[in-house]
Structure 1
Amino acid sequence: MYRIILLLLLGNIVSSISIVAQHDYPKALNLSTYFLGAQRSGDNNSWIHEASHTEDGSALSPQVDLTGGWHDCGDHIKFSFTNNWAATMYLLGYHFFPSGFLDNYSSAFSAPPSNGIPDILDEVKIQTDFIIKSFNNGNVVQQVGSGDYDHSGSFAEPATQSTLPTNKGGDPRPIYINSNCVNIIGGAASALALMYMNYSDYDQTYANECLASAKEFYALGKQKSGSCGSVDCSSGGNPCYNLSSTSSDDEMAMAAACLYESTGEISYRTDAENYFNSNLWDGQVHYYGGMDLIAAAVLYRTTADIKYLDFLKKHFTFHSKAQYNAMGFYNYQYSSGWGNLQYTGNEAFIASLIHSLDGRINSTYYDFAKSNTDFILGSHDELGNIPANYSFLIGYDELGGGYPLRPHHKAAFGSTKTDWSLFTLESNSPGSVAYAFELKGAVVGGPDDSGNYTDKIDVFQNSEVCTYYNAGFTGALAYINMIENNLIAQVKELSGQPELVQNGRFMTIKQGGQMQVVDAVGKLVIDQKVNKNQTINLSDLKVDVYFVKLNGLSHATRIVIK
């Protein structure tokens, strides 16, 4: 996308035309969403590979269908911990900024024509389908596939790997079940509750299934204790992938907050406030190991309690100054030399949430979100060995600086050999082996601690991609797309919710019937019959959050009296 600037100075009749490259946010958002189609496992019409690992779950007794879901990163393991977090992040982005998202294609092969469902929901449904299946007789699936087998067996693409022996990542893969992974349980409930709210406009039956499953997961989480990461670490496997979590309260707080917004049931709000940890270290970057910050965003949205917004702002203050300036020559949010751009995108998303929740009155938050998102898209000078305007989003080159060509990703590499020969050849001589696919839309790990980027298949610290690397970045992109292109948010009511328009302390309700208004602790404050399009005076209500119900239905519409 380009902006044409015309300068005309009268008198000396001096004129000039310059063409300034600009970012194309819809294009970037389409790419970032499209990437998820490459992460599909099973027989799910992925645009990058044939059906693969179609026997997941067959090794259990009795057998359980655990096919589908997402591959975690450039390999083919399915970690519930990271994938549930990623699904929650994508769905939260849509929940807050729906008008910023796109509908360019259908679910099958992530290809046109559009199907009337936002593309991000088509993609994340692949994972929520798996989450629903992963609840197994009071236990949950912690991991599908062995890291040792998957990583050491070969660098073959998914369909080929499926045909190999089990100890080389082939079918049937080992399934790891655990009853005490409360962080995974809470993450599952969070994603499903959000999918319920997001999908109700498109398929109420599926949305209801998600809500029922979210409640089931949440009830189990309340009975259990403990948190889990990746199996390979706890079992002493080599190598150790160290996907760890120190707590599960944050995931349970997020789950309860989402269920409170989904149902209006006060018990979920009480739980969310009890689970919420207001003492999180400000310097903790937002990543797959935590949901404290996004739980605060949902709680502020549903309760209007300023302490949750202050919590978010305090985090932002740390990361926009101390962390940001610690590596100031990068001129972007920096946290780690391994996969850092995931944190850059995540912090941009948190800043977007704050800017939105704060009424868009302080541009500092938006400027931070946009500048960090733009950095990933190539808005930077020369850095280390990185050319100016180099984009870290594969397939995006609006500024003309190029983008990565050799990511660490088995499916994109596309080898059908059952050994490491082609990987070794490409590692020793980058560019010598043609990739089967360009991995469009993937955000790579990014620069290392020295400010350099190595576009090599074996330098996975820089070049690997993951479902969760794109998660915060995609939400921030949607928000920026919404703001920059003046896309007015459409408020979508859940089926059965009262449709109303609030104007200060007056509320016009569109349907007729018996209306009830309850306060934030569930106390009934108004119970009266209303006519269609009747305006109700709410002047007697004190400042607080309330929920409006109609005709005894459980779904409620939230209003805030200020």
Structure 2
Amino acid sequence: MSYVFYEAQRSGKLPASQRVTWRGDSALDDGSDVFRNLSGGYYDAGDHVKFGFPMAFTATMLGWGLLDFTEGHETAGQDQYALEAIKWATDYFIKAFTQIYEFYGQTAQDRARLSRTSVPTVTDRYRSLHDRMIEFDRGTQIGCENGADRGTQIGCENGAFKLDSRELLDAYPRSSWSGYGDELCWAALWLARATGDHQYIEKAKAHWEEFDLTKDQVQQFSWDDKRAGVYALFYLLTEETEFLDLLNTYLDWLKNTATYTPEGLVHLDTWGANRHAANVAFISLWAAKNGIDQENNRQWARGQIGQLLGDNSRYERSFVVGYGQDPPQRPHHRSSSCPFPPSDCHFGLQQSGPNPHTLYGALVGGPSQSGEYEDDREDYVRNEVACDYNAAFTGALAALVEIS
């Protein structure tokens, strides 16, 4: 179901194999305003914007899950769907990498994205801007020739998908919430794994020292903070005890110090709590597969994923649309909120009934720290869905299939 969800998020010309039949071709002229072909890729969440940074993290995590939990994918018959899901993103990234030092980091406008309800169509008047990662006021791109002082993070996250893009790895840094040092390490480590070239490990270590990535407590593993994943990849590629110790310290912090809901779900952020629980469950299952405190890490991660699938006495419900007992029926998601063929659904977010279409496999945002949750379409903090929400979650499910 998780891979079916990604088909519901597709932008561009849909293939004959498309299983989500209430979706159609959309945004085929993306990029035309800047004389580029930027069609394809994934809509980020319940909106119709294509954000390159979280989309790239999504593709990375789907790829990591397939690489290291291949057996689980094959047992579930999902390996081919995994490849197709990853390729749908990477084909778009290759288009977005239009020339040396030029990468289009976002397609379509951000404004009004949470309040406007519609289905994505072939032409959409809100798709006139093709922006770099942060600014929303004009069409441009990240890179060097326009003097942009930004681009490192999204360039890094895309780096290993197209090896010719490695020039982006050190181009014009710009900090977001967690800084960009983790992305520099992350990119170099994935390039090391993809190429077998030891120079990338040395580059990663140089960034590790430069940005002092252990100075602050790691709490999340997400599209904006890769440090827990950096610890894991460093250990995988070097087998050095320093990185094993850091990973163990983080996993112990999750089990013994992190905040939890009354039900027992680790709660690392108000927005998309389920996503964060799934992300760290993936790291825990990866550690277990690599012989790190195997039984404890497996048991803890199984409990977290169990919470998401409905193993919770307070809610007695699944947080995955279309799955299990009493799943969400009103996810904050534009196109599934509209009937097909589409009619005027300007007030689709406000209608009280279930979404006209079941968004199979989508993991919703989840409860507050106090455990409160309501299946409310207008609550985009707790009931929106997103591509990155399902990414590590998918790999964690494959890991659990392997050990079931």
- The TM-score with structure 1 as length reference comes to 0.64
- What pairs up with 1:483-498 in 2 under 5 angstroms? 483-484=403-404
**Structure with max Cα Rg:** 1
Change (3 A) 1:363 1:50: same
Contact 2:267 2:369 in 1 (8 A): no
Matched residues in 2 for 1:422 and 1:369: separation?
36
How far apart are residue 87 of structure 1 and its match? 1.1
Change (3 A) 1:378 1:419: closer
1:255 paired with 2:184, answer no
How far apart are residue 312 of structure 1 and its match? 1.1
Matched residues in 2 for 1:327 and 1:361: separation?
21
Which of these residues, 32, 37, 40, is aligned with residue 58 of structure 1? 32
Matched residues in 2 for 1:339 and 1:259: separation?
29
Contact 1:100 1:482 in 2 (8 A): yes
Task: Deviation per CA, 1:485-524: give whole Å up to 9, x if none.
Answer: xxxxxxxxxxxxxxxxxxxxxxxxxxxxxxxxxxxxxxxx
Partner of 1:420: 346
Change (3 A) 1:348 1:77: same
Contact 1:142 1:178 in 2 (8 A): yes
**Aligned CA-pair RMSD:** 2.1
DSSP-derived class of the 2:262 partner: helix
1:146 paired with 2:109, answer yes
Contact 1:103 1:118 in 2 (8 A): no
DSSP-derived class of the 2:104 partner: strand
Matched residues in 1 for 2:280 and 2:110: separation?
29
- What pairs up with 1:7-406 in 2 under 5 angstroms? 31-45=1-15, 46=18, 47=20, 48-60=22-34, 63-102=35-74, 118-137=80-99, 138-151=101-114, 154-159=116-121, 162-164=122-124, 166=125, 169=126, 171-176=127-132, 177-179=141-143, 180-190=150-160, 192=161, 213-214=162-163, 216-227=164-175, 244-276=176-208, 277-279=212-214, 281-323=216-258, 326-327=259-260, 329-357=262-290, 359=291, 362-382=294-314, 386=315, 388=316, 390-397=317-324, 401-406=325-330
Contact 2:364 2:383 in 1 (8 A): yes
Matched residues in 1 for 2:73 and 2:294: separation?
23
Which of these residues, 371, 376, 397, is aligned with residue 451 of structure 1? 371
Task: Deviation per CA, 1:170-220: give whole Å up to 9, x if none.
Answer: x54444412231000110014x1xxxxxxxxxxxxxxxxxxxx23x22222
Matched residues in 1 for 2:76 and 2:32: separation?
36
Over the matched positions of the two proteins, sequence identity in percent amounts to 27
Matched residues in 2 for 1:64 and 1:249: separation?
30
- Give the letter aligned to residue 153 of structure 2: N
Change (3 A) 1:280 1:133: farther
Task: Deviation per CA, 1:29-84: give whole Å up to 9, x if none.
Answer: xx122211111111133524111111110010xx1100101111011101111111
Question: How many residue pairs get matched?
Answer: 380
Change (3 A) 1:141 1:423: same
How far apart are residue 470 of structure 1 and its match? 0.9
Matched residues in 2 for 1:337 and 1:296: separation?
25
The gaps in structure 1 that reach 5 residues or longer are: 1-30, 106-113, 193-212, 228-243, 485-562
DSSP-derived class of the 1:480 partner: helix
Task: Deviation per CA, 1:519-549: give whole Å up to 9, x if none.
Answer: xxxxxxxxxxxxxxxxxxxxxxxxxxxxxxx
DSSP-derived class of the 2:389 partner: coil
Indicate the structure with greater strand content.
Answer: 1
- Give the letter aligned to residue 133 of structure 1: K
DSSP-derived class of the 2:33 partner: coil
DSSP-derived class of the 2:170 partner: helix
The gaps in structure 2 that reach 5 residues or longer are: 133-140, 144-149
- The TM-score with structure 2 as length reference comes to 0.88
Contact 1:333 1:347 in 2 (8 A): no
Change (3 A) 1:333 1:327: closer
How far apart are residue 447 of structure 1 and its match? 1.0
Partner of 1:521: none
Matched residues in 1 for 2:151 and 2:82: separation?
27
Task: Deviation per CA, 1:297-327: give whole Å up to 9, x if none.
Answer: 222112111211211111111111111xx33
- Give the letter aligned to residue 174 of structure 2: G
Contact 1:41 1:70 in 2 (8 A): yes
Matched residues in 2 for 1:417 and 1:158: separation?
12
Matched residues in 2 for 1:328 and 1:442: separation?
21
Matched residues in 2 for 1:102 and 1:435: separation?
32
DSSP-derived class of the 1:147 partner: coil
Larger RCO, structure (CA 8 Å, separation 6 or more): 2
DSSP-derived class of the 1:158 partner: coil
Change (3 A) 1:280 1:378: farther
Contact 2:261 2:369 in 1 (8 A): no
How far apart are residue 149 of structure 1 and its match? 5.0
- Give the letter aligned to residue 307 of structure 1: E
- Give the letter aligned to residue 421 of structure 1: F
